[in-house]
Amino acid sequence: MRSLGLGKVESIKMVNQIFRLDISSAKSLVHNSSTWEDRYEVDQALHDEIEALMIEF
Protein backbone atom coordinates (compact mmCIF):
# COMPACT_ATOMS: atom_id res chain seq x y z
CA MET A 1 0.00 0.00 0.00
CA ARG A 2 2.88 2.34 0.71
CA SER A 3 4.21 1.69 -2.78
CA LEU A 4 0.84 2.90 -4.08
CA GLY A 5 1.35 6.21 -2.27
CA LEU A 6 -0.76 5.52 0.78
CA GLY A 7 0.40 6.91 4.10
CA LYS A 8 0.56 4.92 7.29
CA VAL A 9 -2.90 5.96 8.48
CA GLU A 10 -4.44 5.13 5.12
CA SER A 11 -2.65 1.78 5.15
CA ILE A 12 -4.09 1.00 8.58
CA LYS A 13 -7.59 1.87 7.34
CA MET A 14 -7.15 -0.34 4.27
CA VAL A 15 -5.89 -3.29 6.34
CA ASN A 16 -8.83 -2.76 8.69
CA GLN A 17 -11.33 -2.85 5.81
CA ILE A 18 -9.76 -5.54 3.62
CA PHE A 19 -8.98 -8.04 6.36
CA ARG A 20 -11.83 -7.00 8.67
CA LEU A 21 -9.44 -6.53 11.57
CA ASP A 22 -10.16 -4.24 14.47
CA ILE A 23 -8.26 -0.94 14.31
CA SER A 24 -5.81 -1.97 17.04
CA SER A 25 -4.83 -5.15 15.19
CA ALA A 26 -4.58 -3.35 11.86
CA LYS A 27 -2.38 -0.65 13.43
CA SER A 28 -0.12 -3.26 14.99
CA LEU A 29 0.21 -5.16 11.72
CA VAL A 30 1.12 -2.03 9.73
CA HIS A 31 3.27 -0.47 12.47
CA ASN A 32 5.38 -3.62 12.86
CA SER A 33 5.63 -4.43 9.14
CA SER A 34 8.90 -4.37 7.22
CA THR A 35 7.31 -1.84 4.85
CA TRP A 36 7.18 0.78 7.60
CA GLU A 37 10.28 -0.24 9.57
CA ASP A 38 12.04 3.01 8.64
CA ARG A 39 9.32 4.91 10.57
CA TYR A 40 9.03 2.54 13.54
CA GLU A 41 11.31 4.33 16.01
CA VAL A 42 9.98 7.82 15.25
CA ASP A 43 6.36 6.70 15.37
CA GLN A 44 6.88 4.68 18.55
CA ALA A 45 8.54 7.66 20.27
CA LEU A 46 5.59 9.86 19.31
CA HIS A 47 3.15 7.25 20.59
CA ASP A 48 5.03 6.96 23.88
CA GLU A 49 5.12 10.74 24.30
CA ILE A 50 1.39 11.08 23.67
CA GLU A 51 0.66 8.22 26.06
CA ALA A 52 2.76 9.88 28.79
CA LEU A 53 0.95 13.18 28.28
CA MET A 54 -2.42 11.43 28.54
CA ILE A 55 -1.37 9.82 31.81
CA GLU A 56 -0.33 13.22 33.19
CA PHE A 57 -3.59 14.77 32.09
* Whether the predicted pLDDT of 57 surpasses 90: no
CB atoms within 10 A of CB 20: 9
Across residues 42-56, what is the average pLDDT? 95
Across residues 35-55, what is the average pLDDT? 95
Say how many domains are in the chain: 1
pLDDT of residue 46: 95
pLDDT of residue 29: 97
Domain range spanning residue 51?
Answer: 2-56
Q: What is the pLDDT of residues 9-44, one digit of tens each?
A: 999 999 999 999 999 999 999 999 999 999 999 999
pTM of the model: 0.80
